């Protein structure tokens, strides 16, 4: 709206002014306004990371199919063409068929073999244990997607709150600018009448210029924090957005969100590590099963073409078929299987230790988050009370100054105290908001928390 304040409508410039107003209104329509809930919903739907975790979930489903396929029939077709450049000889000892030994050259020059084969695993404990890994693999993919969603909600809400804080700072600075400008106007009249000295007017002028500088900085911070919000939401950085929510500095803040019955086993980080522990247990069982025999069934059907002339060997094909069982009994692998089992046992031991460490860390994180939330709430309440007092002091001092009871120094000191109280209040407000998010994120309820705001 600052553009409208500087437009002077005259008879000559009416057409140009109408064009500027139309341009302003058109560009304003391009700005997309988001509430906090809208921003979070957009982030969960459109942030690029949601695609990667969705793909991981799909990949986990395909991995389940891959594991199952190892226990399904395996069918293949094979074709071979052999050119026996020098065929082997066999010797029939003397006295078997004739008094002298007989040297025979077996086979033909060319041999074509076409066959199809089906193999079916009948028993393989290693594959059976591998199938058990499908459930924890799927659970990990689901939990990681949920954790990414919580991270998106947290990052979006944090960026949104930052915009709110900077916008509230700008609002307060504009109010302070107006108050100082009123004081400057009064002091200008007093200076012209010789009631005050130049130094009193100049000190107020310095404070006024400082407010203008701080306001420009706040406006810059708003732009930067909006860019951060767009990045957190997955919006293009050249998008034009605004926020529709606002901070109510006069609203009473109540302490909520603190957790008194936190159960670390419900935290996503704990659940992910627990599923990894399950995978490690399955891996150990799979390595141990490598010592057990395996039994496979197979069936083969094919045809052979034989001949010493390449062009005529395909005149006749000789069919054959076979079915059978294959039992494989592992005997000695050079300690390879034994070493793999020991490695898996050590990894399982580490996984159990890490799960315990994670549990303790989550408890500590929740304890610290609750402590920070309580501290930030107390600071916020105290700073709000100081802010109300500073407002009353400035109003009283301003009235006394206008009546000539208070000095210019008293007025500036009261104004400085108000600005300091405002800054402390805004900072404590932001700390309270972030502390509330930290508690909700730790206990895994940040989505519900945002939806209830």
In whole angstroms, what is the distance from residue 47 CA to residue 45 CA? 6
110 by DSSP, 3-state: which?
strand
CB 411, CB 397: distance < 8 Å: yes
Confidence of residue 20 (pLDDT cuts 50, 70, 90): very low
Q: What is the arithmetic mean of pLDDT over 427-437?
A: 93
Single out the residue of 278, 277, 268 nearest to residue 365, CA to CA. Answer: 268
Locate 110 and state its tokens: 């060319």
How many other C-beta atoms lie within 10 A of the C-beta of residue 416? 13
Is this model's pTM higher than 0.95 or not?
A: no
In whole angstroms, what is the distance from residue 438 CA to residue 257 CA? 10
Q: Count CA within 13 A, CB hemisphere, residue 90.
A: 3
Q: Which residue has the tokens 């990371």?
A: 49
CB 101, CB 93: distance < 8 Å: yes
Predicted pLDDT at 90: 87
Q: Count CA within 13 A, CB hemisphere, residue 279.
A: 15
pLDDT tens string 208-264? 999 999 999 999 999 999 999 999 999 999 999 999 988 765 555 666 656 567 788
Single out the residue of 150, 221, 43, 149 nearest to residue 437, CA to CA. Answer: 150
Distances in Å between the Cα of 387 and the Cα atoms of 35, 142, 390, 416, 421 are: 27, 47, 5, 12, 5
CB 351, CB 276: distance < 8 Å: yes
* DSSP for residue 72: S
Predicted pLDDT at 27: 47
Q: Which residues contact 63 (CB under 8 A, 6 or more apart)?
A: 134, 137
């Amino acid at each position: 709206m600052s553009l409208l304040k500087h437009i002077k409508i005259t008879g000559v410039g009416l057409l140009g002014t109408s064009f500027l107003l139309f341009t302003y209104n058109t560009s304003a329509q391009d700005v997309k306004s988001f509430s906090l809930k809208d921003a979070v919903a957009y982030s969960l739907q459109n942030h690029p990371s949601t695609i990667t975790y969705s793909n991981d979930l799909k990949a986990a489903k395909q991995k389940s199919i891959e594991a199952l396929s190892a226990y399904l029939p395996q069918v293949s077709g094979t074709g071979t063409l052999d050119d026996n450049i020098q065929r082997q000889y066999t010797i029939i000892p003397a006295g078997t068929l004739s008094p002298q030994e007989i040297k025979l050259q077996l086979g033909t020059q060319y041999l074509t073999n076409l066959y199809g084969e089906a193999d079916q695993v009948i028993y393989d404990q290693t594959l059976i244990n591998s199938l058990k890994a499908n459930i924890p693999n799927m659970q990990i993919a689901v939990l990681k997607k949920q954790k990414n969603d919580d991270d998106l909600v947290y990052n979006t809400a944090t960026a949104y709150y930052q915009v709110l804080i900077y916008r509230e700072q700008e609002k307060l600075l504009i109010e302070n600018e107006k108050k100082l400008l009123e004081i400057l106007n009064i002091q200008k009249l007093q200076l012209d009448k010789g009631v005050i000295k130049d130094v009193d007017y100049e000190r107020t002028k310095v404070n006024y210029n400082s407010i203008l500088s701080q306001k420009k900085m706040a406006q810059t911070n708003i732009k930067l924090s909006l860019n951060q919000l767009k990045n957190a939401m997955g919006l293009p950085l050249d998008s034009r957005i605004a926020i529709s929510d606002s901070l109510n500095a006069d609203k009473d803040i109540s302490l909520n969100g603190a957790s008194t019955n936190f159960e670390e086993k419900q935290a996503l980080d704990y659940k992910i590590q627990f599923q990894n522990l399950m995978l490690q247990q399955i891996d150990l069982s799979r390595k141990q099963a490598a010592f057990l025999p395996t039994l496979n069934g197979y069936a083969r059907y094919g045809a052979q073409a034989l001949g010493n002339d390449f062009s005529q060997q395909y005149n006749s094909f000789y069919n054959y078929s076979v079915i059978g069982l294959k039992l494989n009994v592992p005997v000695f692998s050079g300690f390879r299987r034994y070493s793999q089992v020991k490695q898996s046992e050590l990894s399982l031991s580490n996984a159990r230790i890490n799960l315990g460490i994670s549990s303790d860390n989550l408890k500590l994180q929740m304890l610290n988050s609750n402590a920070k939330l309580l501290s930030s709430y107390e600071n916020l309440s105290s700073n709000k009370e100081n802010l109300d007092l500073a407002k009353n002091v400035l109003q009283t001092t301003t009235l006394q100054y206008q009546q000539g009871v208070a000095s210019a120094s008293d007025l500036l000191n009261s104004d400085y105290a108000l600005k300091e109280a405002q800054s402390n209040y805004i900072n404590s407000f932001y700390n309270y908001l972030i502390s509330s998010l930290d508690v909700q994120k730790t206990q895994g309820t940040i989505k519900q928390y945002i939806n209830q705001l």
